[in-house]
Amino acid sequence: MFDLIIRNARICDGTGAPGYVGDLAVRDGRIAELGPGPTLASAEAHRTVDAGGLVLAPGFLDPHTHFDAQLTWDGLAQPSLEHGVTTVIPGNCSLSLAPLRSAHREFLGAVFRQIEEMPKSAFDAGLRWTWESFGEYVEAIAPGLGLNVAPLAGHSLLRLFVLGYESRDRSSTPEEVRALQDLLRRSLDEGALGMSTSFSDVDHEFRPVPSRLATLAELDALCAVLGERGRPLQVLPEFWEADLLRTRIDMLAELSLRHGIPVHFSPLFESEATPGLVEAALERLELQARRGARVTAQMQTRPIDITFDASQASAVFAAMPLWMGTLMQGPEAIRKAFSDPSTRKALVADSETENRPIALSFTLAQTRLSAAKGASRSDVGRTLGEIARERGVHPAEVLMDVSLAEDLAARFTAASLAHADESKVGPALTHPLVQIGAGDGGAHVARFATYGDTGHLFARFVRANPVFDVEGAVKRLTKDIADAWGIADRGRLAKGLAADLVLFDPDTIDRGPEELAFDLPGGGDAFRFVRRARGVKEVFVAGTSVHRDGEGYSQARPGAIVEGPSR
C-alpha cells in the first residue's frame, strides 16, 4: 500500500530528458516507484490522483529569497508554494536572522526592515525573538514549515555577533577572524547551508552593512570553512556596472578555485540603463569557468515594477543620494524639504543623476501615478512626464507636489526597471552559468510582487517567445539549482528521492496579476503586493498535499530544513 499514487501524468523528471506519460507512487515521503505507461495499474494507495496528462515535475527551487522573518509566522512562505516552489533558500545578501545576540535584535530589525523593505508594524507584530544561535533559529521555525528551507548564515550577522557594533566601523583582528570561523562552523553544523555576503547594501542609517567592512583576508578565511564541507557562498556584488562586476567575478573565481566551493552572485539584470553588462558578465564567467572556477549568476525571469510613495526611502532612489537622505528622515522632514524652494531645486538637480547607468533604470518621467485619493485622483494612470509637460515643471516637482497634496500617501509605479527586452533575456536564461533565481521572495513586500518567476518562465520563454521546451524549463527550475547548491535529494524525480512534486498545466501556467493583500501580522493598514499562480494544480512536499488549486492550503506542515553537502 502506497501513501499516494499519481497516474496518467506527463512526467518531466528534472533531467531535461523527454517527458513520458506514466505513474508515480509515494511512500513515507519518498518516491517509491515511477515509470512509463500504467506502471502502477494494480497498485493501491491511500490517495490516488488522475493527472489527466498534466505535467508532473519535481518541486521548484527558489535560490534567492528573504523569507527569514516571514517563516517565523508563516511556515508556508506564501505565496511561493502556489507557484510550485517547494524549497527556498533564505538568508541571502549577508542578512539572516541568526546567529544574533539578544542585545542586537533591535538593530538588526531596523537593518532588515530597511534593506528588505518590510513594514515595521508587521515585522514587530509577527516576529518573536527566541534565539541567539543558528540552531535555535532553525528549531524555532522547523515545526511550522510547509515547504523545505535551506537557510544561509549571513556574513553581516557573523561579524555583528563577534565584533558587536564595531563590525560597522572596522575590519577584524586575526583573533576575531578565528572566532568568525568557529561561529560559521557551528552555524553550518546547526543547519546553515552556506554563507552569504554583500558588497553593496547599506543599513537604516545609510551606512555599509557589516560585511562590507570585512577584508579580503577575512572573507578568504570564512571561505576556507565553507571549503571544509563543500558549502556554497552567495554574494551581492556591485551589479550595476560592468567593470566593477567583472572585477568582482575575478575575485569570486579565486575564492572558488582556492577553496573548491560554488559561488553564486545575484542579481544579473538585463536593462536599458546598462547595455552590454550581461554580455560582459557572461564572457568573464566563461573565462573563469575554463580555469575551473564554479561561479554562476542568478537572473529572474520577470520584469520589475516597483511601487513606492514619498513617505520613506525606497531602492528606486539608490542613485539619488539627496533624495535617499531626505526620505530617510521621516514624514515631517520630507514635507519640509518638499516645501522649501532651495531644497526643491536641489532635489530636482539630484534627480538628474538618474541618467547614470544603474541596473534599475529608473526615470521619473516614465514613472506613473498609480494611486491617489485626493485632488490628484484625476491624474492616476498618467506618467509624471505627461503631467510635468502639462504644468510646465520638472517631473521631480510633480512627484513632490502630488505627494504634498496627498499627505505623502500618493503611490507611484516605476515600470519595467529591468528585463524590458525579452529578446535579450531569453537567451541569457539558457546560459549554463546562469541560474534562474534572484526573485527576492519575502522582501520588498510593500513595493512590488516578488513572486511568479516560475510561471513567467513557462508563459514567456516556453510558450510566447520559446527558448526552452517544457522539459528544459523544468530542469532549470529543479535539477540545475539543486546541483549548483549541493542539495542532493531534491530537484529530480527518481526512486528514493524526496517526493516534492508539482502538478501543472503547461498550457496555462503563468503568474497572475499583482494584488494587494492585507494579511500581514498585526493587522492595520500594512499591506503587501502578491501574485497568485495560474495553472499550478497541486503541490506536494514529502508526498503530502500542501496546496491545491481551488481549495487553497492544507493544514499539513511536512517541510524540513534541507541538509547541505559534506566532504
pLDDT digits (tens, 9 = 90+) for 42-68: 999 999 999 999 999 999 999 999 999
pLDDT band at 290 (very low <50, low <70, confident <90, very high): very high
C-alpha span between 2 and 68 (Å, rounded): 35
What would the mean pLDDT of 213-229 be, rounded to a whole number? 98
* Length reported for the chain: 567
SS3 262: coil
pLDDT at 358: 45
Domains plus CATH for the chain?
A: 2-58+527-553 (2.30.40.10), 306-414 (no CATH)
Tally of CB atoms within 10 A around 224: 15
Q: Where are the beta strands (DSSP E) in 45-203?
A: 45-50, 55-58, 60-62, 85-88, 148-149, 152-154, 194-198
Which among 351, 355, 304, 306 has a CA at the least distance from the CA of 327?
351
Which amino acid is it at 218? E
Contact 27, 33 (CB under 8 A): no
- 24-49 burial, b at 16+ Cβ within 10 Å, e below that, comes to bbbbebbbbbbeeeeebeebebeeeb
C-alpha span between 389 and 35 (Å, rounded): 64
What would the mean pLDDT of 191-217 be, rounded to a whole number? 94
pLDDT digits (tens, 9 = 90+) for 361-410: 567 888 889 888 888 989 998 999 999 999 999 999 999 999 999 999 89
Compare 54 and 306 and report the one with higher pLDDT.
54
Which among 301, 335, 337, 336 has a CA at the least distance from the CA of 322?
337
pLDDT digits (tens, 9 = 90+) for 230-261: 999 999 998 878 899 999 999 999 999 999 99
- 450-476 burial, b at 16+ Cβ within 10 Å, e below that, comes to bbbbbbbbbbbbbbeeebbebbbbbbb
Would you say residue 356 has pLDDT above 70? no
pTM: 0.90
> What whole-number percentage of the chain has pLDDT above 70?
95
DSSP tag of 208: B
Would you give the distance in Å from CA 251 to the centre of its chain? 23
- Dihedral of CA 548/549/553/554: which sign? negative
Would you say residue 359 has pLDDT above 60? no
First CA to last CA across the chain, in angstroms? 37
Which residue shows C-alpha cell 520559446?
A: 466
Burial of 250 (0-12, 13-18, 19+ CB in 10 A): middle
pLDDT digits (tens, 9 = 90+) for 318-348: 778 889 889 988 899 999 999 999 999 999 9
| 296: Cβ contacts below 8 Å, ≥ 6 apart | 262, 263, 264, 265, 285, 433, 434, 435, 484
